[in-house]
Amino acid sequence: MKHCYFPIAVLLPILGFSQVKSNNYEIEEGLKYSSQIRSGGNYIETMKILRPKANQSPTELAKINPNLPVLLKDFTKLIETAEVSSRYKELYDRKMYLLKSGSYPTNHNFCDCETVLRLKHPDTGRIALWVQGDMDVVTDGSDPGRSPKIGDYDLARTSDWFLPETSYSWARESTVPANPFLEYYPGAIKELQAFRETVVEKQKGDAGVVWREILSTVDSQIYRLKSRGMGSGTRGGLEARRYLEATKDPFVVLPAPWVNKSAPWSPHMGDYAAVIYKDKIYPAILGDAGPKDKVGEASLKIARGINPEANGRNRAVSDVTVSYIFFPQTASPRGEPDYALWRTKVAALLDDIGGISSADKLHTW
C-alpha cells in the first residue's frame, strides 16, 4: 500500500469538483480492485471539511470591517451581549447535507456567512438579527405601475435566475397596466415551439450532435418559461399583485426557512433592515425569501450603490464584509415603496440600538 499526496488542483477537476480548493488530497493505492470499489459504494471514503464557527467577537468583527465600531456607537456593547442564533447552525447543517449528497459548492458559496447574532440592546430592549456575509445580486421583481414595458426589465434579465415576483407585494389597482410578463411568457413559448418544429425537421436529415443539442436547448427553455411564468399561481399573482423591482428598490433577502416564523428574532417580510458596507449604511427592507442554504443577497439597487459593476452576472461583494441588521416585527403596511419613509424608520431603529456616529452615514435613496 502506498499513500500519495497531490495538490487538489490536480485531483478535483478529475473528480468533478473543479470549484473546490484544498491543500492536499490523500490517495491510497493498491487496496482494492475497481470491481470491489464499485460494489462497495463510493471511491471517496473520507474528506476533511472545515465547518466554520460563528464569529461573536467585537474585535474579530472589527477586523473584517474596521468602520463598525465607529459607525455604531454601541457596537461593542451590542456584540458582547449578543448570542449566536440557531439559524447559523441550521444554515451550515443544510450546507453539510448538500456535501453529503454529493453537491460541492465553491468556497464563496460555502463560506458566505461569518455569523448570525441575536442582538438586544441592554437599555432600550430593541432586538435585531445581525447577519455578517457577502453580497450576491438579486434582480427579481416586476411592477407594471412603474415599469409597464418588457424592455424596462432588460437589466434585471441579465441574470439567468430572474423571476418576475418577489415575496413582498401589494394589490394592483385597476388603473395600473397589466404586467408585461403575462403577455411575454406565452408569446415566447409560442415562438420557441414554432422554432422547435424547424429543428425537428432539420434533425430528420442530420443525425449528428448539432441538431440534437439545439433541440435539447429549445426544450429546456420552453420548460424554463413554463415553470417561471405559466403556472396558475404565478399568473394569478401577476394579474392581481405588484412587486418590488430589484433595479429600483433597496431590499435584501434571507433564506426562506428564516422568514415569517413566530420566534422573537425571526424577521417578517417587509421588516426594516440596515445594510452596512465599509463606512456607509444603506436603509432597506426584507423583500424576498431565497434558497435555504445561502445568505448574503441584496437587490441590484443596493448592489450598484456599493459596486457600480454589479449586475445579474457579477456579484457586488465577494468577501464577508457586509453587515445586515434586521429589525423583527417592524414592517409598515405594504404599498408602493416610499424611500424617504424607509430611511426615517431605519434611522429611528438604529437609534434604538445605540445610534450612529453621523446622520450623513445613512444613505439617502
Number of domains in the chain: 3
Looking at the structure, tell me whether residues 253 and 351 fall in a common domain.
Answer: yes
Residue range(s) defining the domain that contains residue 30: 2-40
Looking at the structure, tell me whether residues 325 and 227 fall in a common domain.
Answer: no
Looking at the structure, tell me whether residues 232 and 252 fall in a common domain.
Answer: no
Looking at the structure, tell me whether residues 236 and 259 fall in a common domain.
Answer: no
Looking at the structure, tell me whether residues 259 and 352 fall in a common domain.
Answer: yes
Looking at the structure, tell me whether residues 201 and 280 fall in a common domain.
Answer: no
Does residue 9 lie within any of the structural domains?
Answer: yes
Does residue 157 lie within any of the structural domains?
Answer: no
Does residue 314 lie within any of the structural domains?
Answer: yes
Looking at the structure, tell me whether residues 249 and 198 fall in a common domain.
Answer: no
Of 226, 241, 256, the domain-final residue:
241
Q: Are strands 272-277 and 280-290 parallel, antiparallel or unpaired?
A: antiparallel
Looking at the structure, tell me whether residues 278 and 199 fall in a common domain.
Answer: no
Does residue 46 lie within any of the structural domains?
Answer: no
- Residue 321's Cβ-side half-sphere holds a number of Cα atoms within 13 Å equal to 14
Does residue 349 lie within any of the structural domains?
Answer: yes
| Whole-number Å distance between alpha carbons of 252 and 273 | 8
Looking at the structure, tell me whether residues 113 and 88 fall in a common domain.
Answer: yes
Looking at the structure, tell me whether residues 78 and 130 fall in a common domain.
Answer: yes
Of 195, 216, 241, the domain-final residue:
241
Q: What is the pLDDT along the chain (365 residues), one digit of tens a residue?
A: 334 433 344 334 444 454 555 566 677 888 888 888 888 777 777 777 889 999 999 999 999 999 999 999 999 999 999 999 999 999 999 999 988 887 888 888 999 999 999 999 999 999 999 999 999 999 999 999 999 999 999 999 999 999 999 999 999 999 999 999 999 999 999 999 999 999 999 999 998 999 999 999 999 999 999 988 888 899 999 999 999 999 999 999 999 999 999 999 999 999 999 999 999 999 999 999 999 999 999 999 999 999 999 998 899 999 999 999 999 999 999 999 999 999 999 999 999 999 999 999 999 99
Write the DSSP assignment of 237-286 as a string of letters: HHHHEEE--TTTS-EEEEEGGGSS-SSTT---TT-EEEEEETTEEEEEEE
Under 8 Å CB-to-CB from 170, ≥6 apart: which residues?
Answer: 241, 242, 334, 335, 336
Does residue 27 lie within any of the structural domains?
Answer: yes
Looking at the structure, tell me whether residues 137 and 250 fall in a common domain.
Answer: yes
Domain holding 259: CATH number? 2.40.40.10
Does residue 156 lie within any of the structural domains?
Answer: no
Looking at the structure, tell me whether residues 133 and 251 fall in a common domain.
Answer: yes
